């Protein structure tokens, strides 16, 4: 019997009402449209996709900041949708978030000490000043923040330092799962490396699970052990990280990986790139059949009408494609392997 997942998402949907133009009919944006996955304790699970694929909405649903249209979310085996307000609050001490933008996610009028300690005030924890100071110092140490920062305000710090404060705040309640929505995408690369190393160290030390939301495959590869690739509100492929990078099965994953520039000119000269034609279609009018078919170079007639389900053809490796996965492929398709 395998252990209980810390997070389980089943058939999750979130639809928003929208108008595509002033005089046009009402429409529905299917931001998340039938997503299922689970995250095990101490696992780092990534949701990867391009803008508009629904990954941020998915994060908000998991954090119970949005109510799902359909489907359920189980946190430590309990249905989040059925929780009372008090239960939700209690859950939130075990489920924390790190935001993308370290500039807008810290209150400019609070000191670093107040920002990090605010979760304790909200949850009525560690009221003893001596104990609080001790915990605060431990968090600063863990997150690589100098003690002299405590009485200063966010504007005095650079992006990387602010993100460390945001991470310390997320850790204050000793959560078990952290949802991190693009936590390093606003940072310069040398600072990004510092923060990624920090997230890795903290995961070991605090036995954390991460739900890591990102558009950046290189970052995900470094940090995460399992990956779900999203396209237009759906998960099109999930696999463990090594398998996904070495043997992608969905045509979208394959093209996405081939589009990522590699920081090595020798590799860049050798590799072939699959150029996807066109843009991501509007989520207001997703294409019929397989949502990826208008941009897919393997598409056949049936792709235009039938919508493939996510099929776990190999243990732990699932793809939603009727044509490509797990079959003999043209040799030039295996571009990602060197």
Partner 1 sequence: MEPPVLSVRGLRAHFVTRERTVKAVDGISYDLAPGRTLAIVGESGSGKSVHALSILGLLPTPPAKIVAGEILFQGRDLLKMPPSELRAVRGNRVAMIFQEPMTSLNPVLRVGEQIAEAVVLHQKKSQAEARAKAIELLRKVGIPHPDKRVDDYPHQFSGGMRQRAMIAIALSCEPDVLIADEPTTALDVTIQAQILELMKTLQKEFKTAIILITHNIGVVAEMADDVVVMYAGRAVETAPVGELFRNPRHPYTRGLLASVPSIYERKERLEAIGGQPPDLGAGDIPGCPFAARCPVAEARCKTDDPPQFSLPGGRMTACWKAEAEGAERTHRFAPVKGAAS
Binding of residue 194 to partner 1 (CB under 8 A) = yes
**Closest separation in Å from C-beta 44 to partner 1:** 12
Question: Rounded distance, CA 14 to CA 175, Å?
Answer: 26
Of residues 204 through 233, those in contact with partner 1 by CB under 8 A are 215, 217-219, 221-222
**Closest separation in Å from C-beta 197 to partner 1:** 5
Report residue 320: phi and psi, to 5°.
Answer: -105, 80
Choosing from 40, 125, 280, 335, the residue that interacts with partner 1 (CB under 8 A) is 280
Question: Rounded distance, CA 95 to CA 189, Å?
Answer: 28
Choosing from 191, 323, 333, 335, the residue that interacts with partner 1 (CB under 8 A) is 191
Binding of residue 323 to partner 1 (CB under 8 A) = no
Beta bridge partners of 214: 48
Binding of residue 266 to partner 1 (CB under 8 A) = yes
Choosing from 279, 297, 309, 312, the residue that interacts with partner 1 (CB under 8 A) is 279
Q: Which stretch binds partner 1 (CB under 8 A): 25-33, 68-76, 191-199, 202-210?
A: 191-199
Binding of residue 259 to partner 1 (CB under 8 A) = yes
Beta bridge partners of 237: 229, 319
Give the C-alpha distances (Å, rounded to integers) separating 143 from 97, 114, 115: 15, 16, 14
Q: Which is nearer to partner 1, 175 or 251 (CB)?
A: 251
In a 13 Å sphere around the CA of 169, the CA atoms on its Cβ side amount to 27
Binding of residue 123 to partner 1 (CB under 8 A) = no
The single-letter DSSP state of residue 294 is G
Edge-first strand order for the sheet with 70-75 is 26-39, 7-19, 70-75, 78-79
Question: Rounded distance, CA 199 to CA 143, Å?
Answer: 9
Picking from 322, 319, 315, the residue whose alpha carbon sits closest to that of residue 300 is: 322
| Angle (deg, nearest 10), helices 129-143 and 189-206 | 130
**Closest separation in Å from C-beta 152 to partner 1:** 15
Q: Which is nearer to partner 1, 1 or 266 (CB)?
A: 266
Number of residues in contact with partner 1, rule: CB under 8 A?
46
Choosing from 245, 284, 294, 335, the residue that interacts with partner 1 (CB under 8 A) is 245
C-beta of residue 196 within 8 angstroms of C-beta of residue 219: yes
* Binding-site string for partner 1 from residue 8 to residue 37, where x marks contact by CB under 8 A and - marks none: ------------------------------
Question: Rounded distance, CA 105 to CA 84, Å?
Answer: 27
**Closest separation in Å from C-beta 80 to partner 1:** 30
C-beta of residue 168 within 8 angstroms of C-beta of residue 147: no
Binding of residue 334 to partner 1 (CB under 8 A) = no
Of residues 132 through 161, those in contact with partner 1 by CB under 8 A are 158, 160-161
> Dihedral of CA 244/256/233/329: which sign?
negative
Joined tokens for residue 254: 């394959």
Binding of residue 268 to partner 1 (CB under 8 A) = yes
**Closest separation in Å from C-beta 268 to partner 1:** 5
Q: Which is nearer to partner 1, 167 or 172 (CB)?
A: 167
Q: What is the DSSP string of 122-159?
A: HHT---SHHHHHHHHHHHHHHHT--GGGTTS-GGGS-H
Q: Which is nearer to partner 1, 133 or 191 (CB)?
A: 191
Residues near partner 1, by CB under 8 A: 50-51, 158, 160-161, 188-194, 196-197, 200, 215, 217-219, 221-222, 241-242, 245, 255-268, 273, 275-276, 278-280, 336, 338
């Amino acid at each position: 019997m395998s252990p209980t997942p810390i997070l389980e998402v089943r058939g999750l949907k979130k639809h928003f009402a929208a108008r595509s133009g002033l005089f046009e009919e009402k429409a529905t944006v299917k931001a998340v449209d039938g997503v299922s996955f689970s995250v095990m304790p101490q696992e780092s699970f990534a949701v990867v996709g391009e803008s508009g694929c629904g990954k941020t909405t998915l994060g908000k649903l998991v954090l119970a900041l949005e109510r799902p249209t359909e489907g359920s979310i189980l946190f430590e085996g309990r249905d989040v949708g059925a929780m009372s307000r008090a239960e939700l609050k209690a859950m939130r001490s075990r489920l924390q978030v790190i935001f993308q933008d370290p500039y807008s996610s810290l209150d400019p009028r609070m000191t670093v000490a107040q920002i990090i300690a605010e979760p304790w005030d909200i949850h009525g924890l560690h009221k003893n000043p001596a104990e609080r100071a001790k915990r605060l110092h431990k968090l600063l140490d863990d997150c690589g923040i100098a003690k002299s920062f405590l009485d200063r305000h966010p504007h005095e710090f650079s992006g990387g330092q602010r993100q460390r404060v945001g991470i310390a705040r997320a850790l204050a309640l000793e959560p078990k799962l952290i949802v991190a929505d693009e936590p390093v995408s606003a940072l310069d690369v040398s600072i990004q490396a510092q923060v990624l190393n920090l997230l890795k160290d903290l995961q070991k030390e605090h036995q954390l699970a991460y739900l890591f939301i990102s558009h950046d495959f290189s970052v995900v590869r470094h940090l995460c052990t399992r990956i779900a690739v999203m396209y237009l509100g759906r998960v099109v492929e999930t696999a463990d990280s090594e398998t996904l990078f070495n043997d992608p099965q969905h045509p979208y994953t394959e093209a996405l990986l081939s589009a990522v520039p590699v920081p090595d000119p020798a590799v860049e000269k050798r590799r072939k790139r699959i150029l996807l034609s066109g843009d991501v279609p509007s989520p207001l009018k997703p294409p019929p059949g397989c949502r990826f078919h208008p941009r897919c170079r393997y598409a056949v007639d049936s792709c235009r009408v039938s919508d493939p389900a996510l099929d776990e053809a190999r243990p732990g490796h699932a793809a939603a494609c009727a044509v490509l996965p797990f079959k003999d492929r043209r040799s030039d398709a295996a571009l990602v392997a060197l």
